[in-house]
Amino acid sequence: MGRPAAPITLQPGDALVIVDVQNDFLPGGSLAVPRGDEVVAPLNALIARCTQLRLPVIATRDWHPPDHCSFQARGGPWPPHCIAATPGAAFAPALALPESATVVSKAVTADVDAYSGFGGTDLHDRLQAARVRRLLVGGLATDYCVFNTVRDGLANGYEVILLTDAIRAVDVTPGDGLRAIDEMARLGAHPIASVNIGNPA
């Protein structure tokens, strides 16, 4: 794993980006991430702090049509999951998203997949409009949608904090999650636990 970054402080220009904390990715879901439910508590703590400081909270979600190209029936790698407007696509009930949260839906058409929250969405435009410079990223799964969102965030010029206590991996191949963290750090992300992120003085 990449060397943890020094403790940081929340500041204007920060935004919390919560990646795909949806029922189908939680234990019992159709594409469950092992221990995926464990990301909710640290994310809720940061949601509360960011909301109090009036920092943007963004939640991405898979929002697939029933015949999406990522599904095994169409030759994709995954079972059906996060079909738009179904219970599996809903955010985790325990995730305390505020009314002010921005929801970004991705992979919404049958023939285009998107692991990244930036893929085919207006996320970058929304962040620019809010004058965001630094992203705090957590959610599911480390080795797929979190990895791709972090990579694209860096490519779009944002500083990225990877919330190491608020991510969990699929680990199709054992170690995929740790390798993804190492690669995100190599690309320039700063791995840090949310408990090491302070409030402004």
- The encoded tokens of residue 111 equal 């023939």
Which CA distances in Å does 168 have to 29, 48, 102? 15, 21, 22
Q: Are 92 and 26 in contact (CB under 8 A)?
A: yes
Residue 5 has pLDDT above 60, yes or no: no
Binning pLDDT at 50, 70 and 90, where does residue 2 land?
very low
pLDDT of residue 6: 57
Which CA distances in Å does 181 have to 4, 10, 160, 161, 177? 11, 22, 12, 11, 6
Determine which helix (DSSP H) or strand (DSSP E) holds 106, and give its type and residue range: strand 102-106
Q: Is 193 exposed, middle or buried (0-12, 13-18, 19+ CB in 10 A)?
A: middle
Q: Is 175 exposed, middle or buried (0-12, 13-18, 19+ CB in 10 A)?
A: exposed
Binning pLDDT at 50, 70 and 90, where does residue 7 land?
confident
- The encoded tokens of residue 6 equal 């020094």
Task: Compute the mean pLDDT over every residue in the chain, rounded to the nearest whole number.
Answer: 96
Catalytic residue set: 20, 106, 145
Q: List, for residues 132-141, the tens digit of each pLDDT value.
A: 999 999 999 9
